[in-house]
Amino acid sequence: MFNQTLVENDPLIKKLSPHETEIFHIKPANPTRPQYIGSDLHFSCGFEVQSFEWCSSHIDLTFKNEYDKTGSVFLYIPEPGSSGKTLDNLSALTNGEASRVDVVARPAIHNNKTKNFHAGVVVKIRVHCDGSQSIVGGQVKITW
């Protein structure tokens, strides 16, 4: 018998082949605020992030810029709610240049306490860190 991780009393089971490994980073989701989901730049569950700041209309994300690498970042952005803004016109700058924003999911997250659903989007944005250790290489700014 092997150990099981329980999520909402259901086991989370992943079967792997011999000599195969996989890293999981499980944390609670907050459907009312922007969140860093992860990237394919590292496998260290967020260690690659220098800073993550957000407000009601944008996210400023800076990656540590120690190595020359290119990949994608995944972010959750909640619907703005009563502000009158929408997520229809998301735009992104990476290292000061316009970048494509791909919406990869539109989750509806149920809040068990209030019985409300919170909608939002998960986006994928390509990013390049140039390895210069400067702040400029590895910046992502998303606005809506």
Cα 49 to chain centroid, rounded:
11
Is 127 within 8 Å of 63 (Cβ atoms)? yes
- Distance CA(132)–CA(123), nearest Å, equals 26
Is 121 within 8 Å of 101 (Cβ atoms)? no
Burial state string for 50-89 with b = 16 or more CB within 10 A and e = fewer than 16: eebebeeeebebbbebeeebeeebbbbbbbeeeeeeebee
Is 59 within 8 Å of 53 (Cβ atoms)? yes
User: Could you report the per-residue pLDDT of 33-56, keeping only the tens digit for each?
Assistant: 999 998 888 756 678 899 999 998
Query: Average pLDDT for residues 48-68, to the nearest whole number?
Result: 91
Domains of the chain plus CATH, in order, are 31-143 (2.60.40)
Q: What is the pTM of this model?
A: 0.77
pLDDT at 8: 60
* DSSP letter string, 13-47: -----TT-----------TTS-EEEEESS-SSTTT
Give the pLDDT band of residue 2 (cuts 50, 70, 90): very low
Give the pLDDT band of residue 31 (cuts 50, 70, 90): confident
Which two structure tokens, joined as six digits, stand for 8?
Answer: 């909402």
Catalogue the E-assigned strands of 41-116: 49-54, 58-63, 68-78, 91-94, 97-99, 101-105, 108-110
pLDDT at 5: 52
pLDDT at 1: 42
Asked if residue 143 has pLDDT above 50, the reply is: yes
Query: Average pLDDT for residues 50-69, to the nearest whole number?
Result: 91
User: Could you report the per-residue pLDDT of 79-136, keeping only the tens digit for each?
Assistant: 887 666 778 889 999 999 999 999 999 887 776 676 677 788 999 999 999 888 887 7
